[in-house]
Structure 1
Amino acid sequence: MDMGLRGQRIVVVGGTSGIGLAVAGAAAREGADVVVASRRRESVDAALKQLPEGAEGLTLDATDEDEVRAFFERVGAFDHLVYTAGESLLMESLAESDLARSKRFLDTRLWGAYSAVKHGAPFIREGGSVVLTTGSAGRRPRPGTTVAASLCGAMESLTRALALELAPIRVNVVSPGVVRTDLWRALSEKDRGGLFESTAAALPVGRVGAPEDVAEAYLYLMRGGYSTGSVVDVDGGGLLV
Structure 2
Amino acid sequence: MSLQGQRIVVIGGTSGIGLAVAEAAAREGAEVVVASRRQESVDAALTRLPRGAEGHVLDATDEDAVRGFFGRIGEFDHLVYTAGESLLLESLAESDLTRARRFLDTRLWGAYTAVKHGAPSIRKGGSVVLTTGTGGRRPMRGATVAASLCGAMESLTRALALELAPLRVNVVSPGVVRTELWRDLPEVERDGLFESSAASLPVGRVGESADVAEAYLYLMRGGYSTGSVVVVDGGGTLV
Aligned counterparts of 1:94 and 1:181: Cα–Cα separation in 2: 25
1:78 corresponds to 2:76: yes
Residue 230 of structure 1, aligned match among 225, 228, 231: 228
Aligned counterparts of 2:10 and 2:187: Cα–Cα separation in 1: 29
Residue 69 of structure 1, aligned match among 47, 67, 70: 67
1:139 corresponds to 2:132: no
Aligned counterparts of 2:116 and 2:53: Cα–Cα separation in 1: 24
Secondary structure of the 1:207 match is coil
Identity %: 82
Question: Residue 123 of structure 2 corresponds to which residue in structure 1?
Answer: 125
Aligned counterparts of 1:141 and 1:58: Cα–Cα separation in 2: 34
Question: Residue 47 of structure 2 corresponds to which residue in structure 1?
Answer: 49
Residue 114 of structure 2, aligned match among 102, 105, 116: 116
Question: Residue 176 of structure 1 corresponds to which residue in structure 2?
Answer: 174
CA drift of 1:141 comes to 1.3
Aligned counterparts of 2:211 and 2:50: Cα–Cα separation in 1: 19
Q: Using structure 2 for the length normalisation, give the TM-score.
A: 0.99
CA drift of 1:87 comes to 3.0
Decide whether the 8 Å contact of 2:85 with 2:107 is kept in 1: no
Aligned positions of 1:141-220 closer than 5 A:
141-220=139-218
Q: Using structure 1 for the length normalisation, give the TM-score.
A: 0.98
Aligned counterparts of 1:22 and 1:171: Cα–Cα separation in 2: 20
Aligned counterparts of 1:59 and 1:10: Cα–Cα separation in 2: 16
Secondary structure of the 1:186 match is coil
Name which of structure 1's ranges 208-217 and 183-192 shifts more when overlaid on structure 2.
183-192
Structure 1 unaligned residues grouped into runs of 5+: none
Alignment root-mean-square deviation, CA: 0.5
Structure 2 unaligned residues grouped into runs of 5+: none
CA drift of 1:182 comes to 1.1
CA drift of 1:169 comes to 0.4
